[in-house]
Chains A and B, each alone.
Chain A
Amino acid sequence: GESVGLHLPTLSVQEGDNSIINCAYSNSASDYFIWYKQESGKGPQFIIDIRSNMDKRQGQRVTVLLNKTVKHLSLQIAATQPGDSAVYFCAETGANNLFFGTGTRLTVIP
């Protein structure tokens, strides 16, 4: 079955530095991946997505990298800001639903 996991449960970075959050997935048939951000007291919010026919996609200050060979997904946040402090989840598509990883808590140190 599918499983999506994260390498690190917590990550602390200095404000202004770049952050990298990693995710491993096991279902090689997944063709769509999404990163979500969840702040305290809120539901997950969409950050960026990528299809399996791509290996990189950039948004505003965020970049998602997909390595299908090793089934690895990463989220890079440039110039991390205090407002980026949250739990980040990667998710992969299943049949009409998403499978989420357990999340990484990013803490930005001012």
Chain B
Amino acid sequence: KAGVTQTPRYLIKTRGQQVTLSCSPISGHRSVSWYQQTPGQGLQFLFEYFSETQRNKGNFPGRFSGRQFSNSRSEMNVSTLELGDSALYLCASDSGDSGANVLTFGAGSRLTVL
């Protein structure tokens, strides 16, 4: 069973640009969550999508957005990039059914903003 796949793995952007990151969840998983990881901050929840709908959202500005497609693949977008957006962006999937679920993470997309 393939794991969670994130692309690209590494990318460099400059301030003001925008970026789109992609995530393919484990087959059969309908929920996709996105996290931002920065040194010393741990993992901060961005948003969660289930059946193409944003089900939950963290405390990030509107520059951070996402969407989910009918095949459960998800993308997140960051517009008007700032230096502080440099981070590892992690995607995780689970079945999305009610009750506690164990998230399976991808390897992440490392974004550097210059």
Q: Which residues of chain A from 48 to 105 have a CB within 8 Å of any chain B CB?
A: 49, 51, 89, 93-103
CB atoms of B56 and A99 under 8 A apart? no
* Contact of A96 with B43 in the complex, beta carbons under 8 Å: no
Shortest CB-to-CB span from A57 to chain B, Å, is 13
Closest chain B CB from A91 CB (angstroms): 8
Q: How many CB-defined contacts (below 8 Å) exist between A and B?
A: 52
A1's nearest neighbour on chain B, judged by CB, is B59
- Cα–Cα, bound, A96→B33 (Å): 9
B43→A44 contact, CB < 8 A = yes
Interchain CB contact under 8 A, A44 and B105: yes
For residue A45, CB closer than 8 A to chain B, the reply is yes
B104 on the A face (CB < 8 A): yes
Q: Complex: how many Å from CA A103 to CA B4?
A: 22
- The closest CB in chain B to the CB of A92 belongs to B100
Complex contact B43–A100 (CB within 8 A): yes
Closest to A32 in B: B100
Residue ranges of A at the interface with B (Cβ–Cβ < 8 Å): 31-32, 34, 36, 41-46, 49, 51, 89, 93-103
